[in-house]
Every structure is written in C-alpha cells, then in structure tokens.
Amino acid sequence: MLAPDLPGFGHSPALDAGTPPAPEALTDALERDLDAAGWDRPHVAGSSLGGWIALELARRGRVASVVAISPAGMWTRRESLYAQALLKLTRLLASAPAPERALGLWPVRVASGAIVFGRPARGKPAELAEMARLLVGSEAFDRARELAHATQPKGLNEISVPTLIAWGTRDRLLLPRQARRFVREIPGAELRWLDGLGHLAMQDDPELVARTIAEWIRQSPARPAAAPA
C-alpha cells in the first residue's frame, strides 16, 4: 500500500520552485509516485483535495477503481467562498500556542474540530495537536487552496472505472449536496453516505472508512495493490 502526503503537505517536500500546487500539478506528482512504485493501474482512494486528485487519476486512465471521500471542486461560487473562509479559520485556530494542552479541554476540542469533524469530542488531543502542527507547517496549503478554488474538476464524464463517491452527512466544510453533482457528472458513479461523519471522515471513524474502501475494491476489477491518494 502507498499512502503519500501531497507535495508541500504533511512530511512531503513541496513541488519544485516555480511549479504552483494546482490540482493538475499535484496529480502529476502522484503519477510519478505510481511510476516509481511500478504500479500501472492500482485502486485509489482520496479525501477532499486528494479525492479530486484521485478522480483526475481516474480520468487519465491510471486507476482500476476510485473511492473519492468528500472530493473537493464541485462547489458554487458561494460555497467556494464559504469553504475558503472556514479553511482560513481552521489554519488560524491551528496556529494557537500549546495546541496539545488547549485541545485537552473539551470545549476547545469541540469548537476547533467542529469544522472538519462530525464527532469532534472524540478526537485525541495528541493526534489533533499533530494535525494542527502539520497544517501550520504546510508549505503548499494556502496556495493550493487558492488554485483549487479558482477552478473545478474537468473531464469527469471521461471516467470509465468503478467510482464511489462517499460523503459524511455532517460535512460542514464541503456541503453534502455537492456529492450529487459528482455523481451526475461521472458515468455509473455510486454515492454512499457516511452517517454522522464530517469532512475528515477517516478521522471520525477510520474502521468504517477502511471497510467502505475495501468493499469497493472487492467488487471492482481485481488489481494487485491499493494506493490511497
């Protein structure tokens, strides 16, 4: 299994200087990772911007199947402005001093996590603090957000592999109504609601998300490997 951070996110270095972190460039980087791993058409799964990239890999014919969890991009102008405002607020909250100590307080944990979690009170302070540090330290976050919100996914009707759109019913960042827009654009795509989960569904209920991905892979054409985007 390959589980890369996108360039400029997490522990991965940013793209080469002069290459803006637009969805297409980030997808190019993921293709290079697949090539380096020797994988032609693996099963892929991705969340949020990673979901957009997973769908773009599918459009390029690089995957056997795809699970896109609350994929970004299918927003109206008003929804885009709303999501950007919440993302800026999220990064501001993440930059607070001593995040682990602050997140140990239940009201702080709920208030700061409500944007991206459906069940913010369940978060573990140490894990949430690490997420906050990675968010604040991300080289690509702000520019990637700007570039993504300046466009939308293209060529979704060209996707010809089994595609599952999974969406948390408590997603407060990318509103659940956006899910049906993806399903209308992608031939044969299916929609599955993740009851009670938020935008970062894999943090809310990792077992449910893993089971959803595994079930989709089992019913899709067999391939030798899986690669979350």
Q: Where in the chain are the domains?
A: 23-75+152-228, 79-143
Does the structural domain 23-75+152-228 have CATH classification 3.30.2420.10?
no
Q: What is the pLDDT of residue 100?
A: 67
User: What's the Rg (C-alpha) of the chain?
Assistant: 17
Q: Identify the band that residue 225 occupies on the pLDDT scale cut at 50, 70 and 90.
A: very low
Q: Identify the band that residue 223 occupies on the pLDDT scale cut at 50, 70 and 90.
A: very low
Query: What residues have CB less than 8 Å from 158, skipping those under 6 apart?
Result: 59
Mean pLDDT, the chain, rounded, equals 89
Q: What is the pLDDT of residue 97?
A: 74
Q: What is the pLDDT of residue 42?
A: 94
- pLDDT digit string, tens, across residues 150-196: 999 999 999 999 999 999 999 999 999 999 999 999 999 999 999 99
Percent of the chain residues past pLDDT 70, beyond the cut:
91
Which range has the worst mean pLDDT, 2-6, 28-32, 53-57, 120-124?
A: 120-124
Average pLDDT over residues 188-213: 96
CA angle 63, 15, 9 (to 5 degrees): 75
Helix 77-94 / helix 125-137 crossing angle, nearest 10 deg: 110
Query: What residues have CB less than 8 Å from 2, skipping those under 6 apart?
Result: 33, 34, 37, 39, 42, 225, 227, 228
Given a cut of 80, is residue 28 above it in pLDDT?
Answer: yes
Q: What is the pLDDT of residue 98?
A: 66
Average pLDDT over residues 78-103: 82
Q: What is the pLDDT of residue 99?
A: 66
Which residue has better confidence, 100 or 180? 180
